[in-house]
Amino acid sequence: MGKYDDLEKIKTLLDQGILTPDEYKTQKQQIMNSAYSAQPPSTAANDAPSAGLSVLGFFFPFIGLIFFLVWQRDCPQKARSIGKGALINVLVSLSLCLLFFLLVIIFGIVGATATSSAPAVPLYPAAPVEVPSIETPSEVLPIELPAIEITPVELSPMDAMPLM
C-alpha cells in the first residue's frame, strides 16, 4: 500500500466525520513524512546473478553502468553482475592502452638507436642547382585551342516553365 491509498483512506474518514480536521492534518503529515517504498522488495527468484548480464556489461559498459546504478537497491545481485562486466571491460581497455603505449615507446627507442648508427646522408644538395625560368605562359602550354561558335537558341514559354 502506498501513500496515495493511505491519503484516500484518511480523506474518506474526514468526509464521514470520523476524523476531525486537526486529526486529518496530523495523519496527513505523518503519511507524507514517512518513507514509503514505491516498489515491492525484490524476491530471491527476481534477483539472481547472471552471466548474460555480465557479458552485456562487458560489451556495453555505459549501459552496464546505468543498469548497475538503477538496480543497485532493488536487485543487488543483478547489479553486481552487470557492474562486474562493465568493470572488467574498463580494466581490459586500460591495460591494452597501457600495453600499446609501452610498445610505442619501446619501438621508438629501438628505432631511434638503429637509425643513429646509419651513415649520415645530407638532406640538401652540396652545390646550388639552377632552375630554368619560364618567361611566358605560351612556352608552358604550346597548345592552340579551336574557336568555338555560339549560336543563340529561341525558347518558347513552355520551355521556360518549371517541371513539377
81 and 27 together in one domain: no
**Percentage helix, strand, coil for the chain under 3-state DSSP, each rounded to 5:** 55, 0, 45
**Long-range contact pairs involving 45-48 (C-beta distance under 8 Å, separation at least 24):** 46/75, 47/74, 47/75, 47/76, 47/77, 47/78, 48/77, 48/78
What is the pLDDT averaged over residues 135-154? 70
Report the amino acid identity of residue 147. A
The confidence band for 1, taking pLDDT boundaries of 50, 70 and 90, is low
Q: Which residues contact 116 (CB under 8 A, 6 or more apart)?
A: none
Note the pLDDT of residue 123.
65
Q: For all residues of the chain together, what is the average pLDDT?
A: 80
68 and 28 together in one domain: no
Report the amino acid identity of residue 10. I
14 and 71 together in one domain: no
Domain enclosing residue 10, as ranges: 1-36
Between helix 51-59 and helix 61-71 the angle, nearest 10°, is 130
HSE of 70, CA atoms in CB hemisphere, 13 A: 7
**68 is a domain residue:** yes
**41 is a domain residue:** no
64 and 86 together in one domain: yes
Residue 71: CB atoms within 10 Å = 20
Note the pLDDT of residue 137.
58
How do residues 60-118 score in pLDDT, each as one tens digit?
A: 999 999 999 999 988 899 999 999 999 999 999 999 999 999 999 998 888 777 666 65
Inter-residue contact 78 to 47 (CB < 8 Å) = yes
Inter-residue contact 83 to 62 (CB < 8 Å) = no
Q: Say how many domains are in the chain.
A: 2
Residue 115: CB atoms within 10 Å = 8
Q: pTM for the whole thing? A: 0.44
